[in-house]
Amino acid sequence: MSGTACEPERFVDTIEMGEVTITRVVEWQGAIAPAEEVFLGTTAQTWQRNRNWLEPHFWDARSTSFKAYMQTWVLRSEGRTILVDTGVGNGKERPSMPPWSHLETDFLDRLAAAGVAPEEVDVVVNTHVHADHVGWNTQLVDGRWVPTFPNARYLIPRADFEYWNPLNGHAKHGSLGGINAAVGNQYMFEDSLLPVHEHGRAVLWEDSHPIDRNLVLESAPGHTPGSAVLALDSGGERALFVGDLLHTPVQLLEPDAEACLSEDVPAAIRQRRRMLERAADTSALVLPAHLPGPGAAEVRRNGGAFAIQRWAPFSPVG
Ligand SMILES: [Zn+2]
């Protein structure tokens, strides 16, 4: 492991890959819940065994909690500005998720620190539809939810858009502390998806969707029916924005450990293995949605599992 994991935490980091600049803008950071409850197939011992490198970024020994960032990846590619995932958002009513209800963060100031004004954003990617990935799709203006990025096309997986549409009902699968995914995402469709659709900004895609010569969205259903991976291939360099296919580096050691709120657990596990094998075999940088600290890593195969090859060498912005 390189030294990145030991440096102070930052909110805006950047790295170049081929012709694409990647900048990380953190919205929120914190402990979510006891890790062995969040990740099916792990025990308290799984986390204890690895505490020497899971602390301080990925796990809190005192509370045994899994730690996560909410964040947006800002890509500059072929002259356009592309946001990957939009965090929790401000002012959202999430009755069953108190830590994310009525947030008031300075996320838009952090975006500005990364050189991004909302009207300059060309494309917004939601890797999947969960309340912590679509929040800044919209903001409250004069009592109405409107697109935060008024000139952007929002690329939303059709399968997720339809799955979460209350008119279609919703199958309730995983749960955490008695909260299932449908309850945890209450009001999300109405406040973060529908306004984008009604303003004519939503592009509902399926199977795969090229963004430009460097970037393509690929379907990877499991965590949600529309979960996607954004693949970057530019100047011989590769990266995979994997959304919630990987939440914690413990899933490298234990690829079958799945987040409890995944809609189709066996499919989510298959997609993670497939993605990690591809990343290892093609030296692609893996950029999960929520990884704190170093934020991204190259991985290698290790028997039937995986290991960190090296953390991403991000540089601070400004
Ligand atoms: Zn998430």
Alpha carbons 166 and 273: distance in angstroms, whole number: 32
Note the pLDDT of residue 99.
86
Find the 85 Cα to ligand 1 centroid distance in Å.
Answer: 9
317 inside domain: no
Q: Is the pLDDT reported for residue 15 higher than 90?
A: yes
The amino acid at residue 104 is: E
3 CB-near residues (< 8 Å, 6+ apart):
none
Strand 59-60 relative to strand 285-288, pairing: unpaired
pLDDT in tens, 100-141: 899 999 999 999 999 999 999 999 999 999 999 999 999 999
314 inside domain: no
Find the 278 Cα to ligand 1 centroid distance in Å.
Answer: 22
> What CATH number has the domain bearing residue 59?
3.60.15.10
pLDDT more than 90, % of the chain? 82
68 CB-near residues (< 8 Å, 6+ apart):
29, 30, 32, 247, 290, 291, 292
Alpha carbons 215 and 75: distance in angstroms, whole number: 10
Find the 260 Cα to ligand 1 centroid distance in Å.
Answer: 12
Find the 261 Cα to ligand 1 centroid distance in Å.
Answer: 10
Find the 247 Cα to ligand 1 centroid distance in Å.
Answer: 8
Cα–Cα distance list, 280 to 10, 47, 229 (Å) = 27, 24, 15
274 inside domain: yes
Alpha carbons 188 and 163: distance in angstroms, whole number: 12
109 inside domain: yes
Paired tokens of 53: 């490198």
Please give the tally of structural domains in the chain: 1
Find the 133 Cα to ligand 1 centroid distance in Å.
Answer: 6
280 inside domain: yes
Find the 32 Cα to ligand 1 centroid distance in Å.
Answer: 11
pLDDT in tens, 238-269: 999 999 999 999 999 999 999 888 999 999 99
Alpha carbons 99 and 306: distance in angstroms, whole number: 32
Alpha carbons 62 and 60: distance in angstroms, whole number: 6
68 inside domain: yes
Find the 80 Cα to ligand 1 centroid distance in Å.
Answer: 25
247 is in which domain, residue-wise? 12-309
Paired tokens of 213: 């010569």
pLDDT in tens, 271-313: 999 999 999 999 999 999 999 999 999 999 999 999 999 999 8
Find the 34 Cα to ligand 1 centroid distance in Å.
Answer: 16
Find the 244 Cα to ligand 1 centroid distance in Å.
Answer: 5
pTM over 0.85: yes
Q: Which residues are near ligand 1, the ion (C-beta closer than 5 Å)?
A: 132, 244
Name the helix (H) or strand (E) containing 307. Answer: strand 305-311
pLDDT in tens, 192-245: 999 999 999 999 999 999 999 999 999 999 999 999 999 999 999 999 999 999
pLDDT in tens, 66-97: 999 999 999 999 999 999 999 999 999 998 88
Alpha carbons 195 and 136: distance in angstroms, whole number: 12
Find the 102 Cα to ligand 1 centroid distance in Å.
Answer: 18
316 inside domain: no
119 CB-near residues (< 8 Å, 6+ apart):
149, 150, 151
